[in-house]
Amino acid sequence: MHSPLLTMFSFYGLVGGLIASGIVVYTNPSNWNFALAAFLALVVSFVNLNSNEVQLPALLTLGFSFFLASNDPKRVLLWSILIPVWIPIGEILRFILNSERTLGPSELLGSFLAFGFSFAGSYLGAKAKNASSKAIKP
């Protein structure tokens, strides 16, 4: 059972992230991909906090990293880190705001597995972009 405080912080954090991303895109449109990555990372963390299954956050991490890296393959490592970093932060926030839960190694180490999905998605996205750019040359 989620505490109301956790639900409030996670939802309004998502709303704040959307507003902050919009401000970044409005003031500096060339940084739209960073704003999108930050917001998608918050979405993944929100889904992870509100889901009892691991498949959906893993798939979102893989997919978001894939598409960000296929759009900008020069920053593969950045996309690999930026998307899943909020999952362990969310687990720590859940522990702080929900006194009924304990923060054991399985929760924290399990949340770090998202980095593997993110690295796989990012490098597959960069490879797909490189393969498609070589195949399309006139």
- 3-state helix, strand, coil split of the chain in percent (to 5) is 85, 0, 15
Domain borders along the chain are 4-135
Q: Is the pLDDT of residue 1 over 60?
A: no
Whether the CB-CB separation of 71 and 121 falls below 8 Å is answered with no
Using alpha carbons, select from 89, 92, 99, 87 the residue that is nearest to residue 1: 99
pLDDT(137) > 70: no
If you average pLDDT over residues 61-76, what whole number do you get? 93
C-alpha count within 13 angstroms, C-beta hemisphere, residue 6: 22
76-90 pLDDT per residue, tens: 999 999 999 988 888
Q: Is the pLDDT of residue 113 over 90?
A: no
Q: How far apart are CA 5 and CA 132, in angstroms?
A: 46
